[in-house]
Amino acid sequence: MCEVSMNIEHIKKVDPVVAEQIEKEFERQQNTIELIASENITSEAVMEACGSVLTNKYAEGKPHKRFYNGCDHVDVIEEIAQKRACELFHMDHANVQPHSGAQANMAVFMAVLKPGDKVLGMDLSNGGHLSHGSPVNFSGLYFDVKSYGVDEYGNIDYENVRKMALEHKPKLIICGASNYSKIIDFKKFREIADEVGAYLLADIAHIAGLVAAGLHPSPAGYAQFVTTTTHKSLRGPRGGITMCDEEFAQIIDKAVFPGMQGGPLEHIIAGKAVALLEASKPEFKAYAEQILKNAKALAQGLMDEGMDIVGGMTENHLMTLDLRKTGKTGKDMANVLERVGITANKNTVPDDPQSPFVTSGIRLGVPAVTTRGFKEDDMTEVAKIIASAIFSSDNELGLHNLRERSLKLCKKYPIYMRIGG
C-alpha cells in the first residue's frame, strides 16, 4: 500500500475551483481499479520532488554548461539522475531532460537521421507506438517508415523483420512497444540491424521497471540507443530519458537541447532521480516480481472466464483483450468497465476490422494495482468483474453489483491516506 498524504491547503485558498477538481481526481483514483498499462502511482518522495522549489529554476543547457546562472544545485541533481539511469540500465550516457517518451525517441531521430531517411518500426495497430512511425506523428511525417507487426499468435516474426530490413535497408530499426505482451529478443534485433548497417533503438518505456529489476532481458550491449518513460512500470514522474553508447553522447545532448526543447523541467528531473534510486532497491525488485505474478493471474482469470487474450498469455505487465468473438467494441466496453470502477483503454488488435477510434480490443496492465497491494487472488476477482461486465453490459443491476465488488477491492487497498489542508 502506498500511504501518501496530500496537502492542498494553499490551492484551496487561492483557487478553490482547481482544488475541487484535484479532490475529485483523488476520489476517482482512490475508488477506481486502474488497469491502464501506462499509469502508476508514485511514491510520496517523488511527488514532493516534483512539487518542490525546483519548479522555479530555469536551466537551459547541460549541467555546468547552462545559459543561466544559479544552477549549481540543479546541476548536481541532474547529474545524479544521469548517473543513476546509467547504472540502473547499464548504459554509457543518459540525457534525463526529455519531457516525454515521444521526445526521448525524437532525440534519437534528430541525432542520427535526416528527413526522408528510412526507418523500420513496429506498426501501431500491432503494438507499436505513435513515435515509431505513425503517419500522424513526426516520425511518420518526416521519415520514410516501414512497419513490421506480429503473427497470428501475437509474436514478433523476427524472420519477417529481417526480410523487411534487407528489402528496405533502413538507417534505424526500432524495437520495443506500447502494447506487446511477450519478451523482446534484443539480440536478434541487433543481429538484423548489423546485417543491414542500421542503428538500433530500443524503446523500453513500458518494460523499464521489469528491465531495471532484471526480470526482462536488457537491451544494453545490443541497442546503441535506449529510451524510456519514467512513469509506467518504473513508477516515477511523467517524463522521458534517452540513453546511448558513449560515442553518441554529444549528438544526443545536442538533439535534446537546442534541437527539440528549451529549458528542462528540473523539478521533474529531481523526481526522476528519486524514482531511479527507488528502482535500485530490493523492495522494487519484489514489486516487479509481483507485477509478473499479477499479470499472469489476470490473464489466466480472463481466459478461465471465456475471454480471448492476444497471444494467449503475457510475459510482462500487460495484455490485450480480443473482443471480436463477443461482437462488442473496445470503445464501448472500456466505457462499460469505467461504469463498474475499472479504468482501461480501448486498443486495436492485430488485423483489427474496427478503426483505431473504435477498436476490437482493450489493453490491460497491472503496475498501478500492484503498487496498491493487489495480489493474485485479487486479480482473479478483477478478471471475473471484467468478464461479467462485458458479457452482461446491458444489465444495469448487474453492473451496479459489479461496481460494489470493485469498490470493495479499492477500499481494501487505499492508495492515498489523506488529502486536504
Q: Determine which one of 44, 48, 60, 308 is catalytic.
A: 60
> Cβ contacts of residue 159 below 8 Å, gap of 6+?
none
The answer to whether residue 60 is catalytic is yes
Residue 343 DSSP symbol: E
The answer to whether residue 308 is catalytic is no
C-alpha R_g of the chain: 22
The answer to whether residue 229 is catalytic is yes
- C-alpha cell of 364? 490491460
User: β-pairing, 416-420 with 4-7?
Assistant: parallel
What count of other Cβ atoms lies within 10 Å of the Cβ of residue 322?
22
Q: Which of 190, 127, 186, 128 is nearest to 154 (CA)?
A: 127
Contact predicate 201/105, CB 8 Å: yes
Q: What single letter denotes the amino acid at residue 397?
A: L
- C-alpha cell of 156? 514478433
Q: Determine which one of 66, 232, 272, 372 is catalytic.
A: 232
Q: Determine which one of 238, 272, 363, 372 is catalytic.
A: 238
Q: Which of 62, 60, 98 is nearest to 78 (CA)?
A: 62
The answer to whether residue 78 is catalytic is no
- The residue behind cell 512539487 is 51
The answer to whether residue 418 is catalytic is no
What is the rounded distance in angstroms from the CA atom of residue 106 to the CA atom of residue 222? 20
What is the rounded distance in angstroms from the CA atom of residue 306 to the CA atom of residue 376? 19
Q: Determine which one of 203, 253, 322, 352 is catalytic.
A: 203
Q: Determine which one of 23, 39, 44, 58 is catalytic.
A: 58
Q: Is the dihedral of CA 42, 45, 46, 47 positive or negative?
A: positive
What is the rounded distance in angstroms from the CA atom of residue 3 to the CA atom of residue 372? 9
User: CA 218: distance to chain centroid?
Assistant: 16
Q: Determine which one of 229, 314, 371, 380 is catalytic.
A: 229
**Coil vs helix vs strand at 310:** helix
The answer to whether residue 203 is catalytic is yes
Residues with catalytic annotation?
A: 58, 60, 203, 229, 232, 238
